[in-house]
Structure 1
Amino acid sequence: MIPVPTAGRVWIATGHTDMRRGMRGLALQIQEGLRRDPHGGDLFIFRGRRGDLAKILWHDGVGLSLYAKRLDRGRFVWPSASDGAVAISPAQMAYMLEGIDWRNPQLTWRPTSAG
């Protein structure tokens, strides 16, 4: 699990991103496209065109970290491309990384009996 700092925020970059980009390319996209500071301690999440790959860029005060996750089945739920970035909570990020709809998380299975 990614340690989310208490002062940091989690941002989803709307739309799709070229997943060939590395740390520097994504940091430049944050700075120029989203008009935010990539070294400020916030987490930035990007999604590829197919929707099954997400990358997270985070600066922890010492250096940049790049995390990637590819879903075996399904796609990441993503906001519309109208805004540049959408802020979500760390709990919503955890849902999203598990492939759960972070906008309206619900249990997918509940046991009917104990035995």
Structure 2
Amino acid sequence: MIPVRSDVRIWLATGCTDMRRGMFGLALLVQQGLKRDPHAGDLYIFRGRRGDLIKVLWHDGVGMSLYAKRLDRGRFIWPAATDGVVAITASQMACLLEAIDWRNPRMTWRPQAAG
């Protein structure tokens, strides 16, 4: 779990992002494409074209962190907009990370067995 303070803003980068990008490539995308400061302490969440992989970029004041999550089955729920950012709350992000539709919280898929 990412320890998110209450004053941290969380942004979904709408559209599809090239998931080959690493920490510095995504920070550059935040700075040039979204016109925001990647070192301001906000969380930026990016989704790939297939929808089963997200990356979270966060600068906590000490250093930059990059978190990734890939779903075994299903897709992450994403806004329909093609360009820009959408602000979400910490509870909506928690639903998103659990593959629950953060607009209408409900499990989209749950594994039945470990193997």
Query: Cα distance, 1:73 vs. partner?
Result: 0.8
Cα distance in 1, alignment partners of residues 107 and 65 from structure 2: 31
**How many residues are paired up?**
108
The two structures have a TM-score, normalised by structure 2, of: 0.90
Aligned to 2:40: 40
Cα distance in 2, alignment partners of residues 58 and 47 from structure 1: 15
Cα distance in 2, alignment partners of residues 103 and 8 from structure 1: 20
Query: Cα distance, 1:82 vs. partner?
Result: 3.9
Cα distance in 1, alignment partners of residues 67 and 107 from structure 2: 26
The answer on 1:3 being equivalent to 2:30 is no
Cα distance in 2, alignment partners of residues 49 and 32 from structure 1: 20
What percentage of aligned pairs have identical amino acids?
73
The two structures have a TM-score, normalised by structure 1, of: 0.90
Aligned to 1:21: 21
The gaps in structure 1 that reach 5 residues or longer are: 109-115
Aligned counterparts, 1:79-90, within 5 A: 79-90=79-90
Aligned counterparts, 1:1-115, within 5 A: 1-106=1-106
Cα distance in 2, alignment partners of residues 53 and 5 from structure 1: 24
Is the radius of gyration larger for structure 1 or structure 2? 1
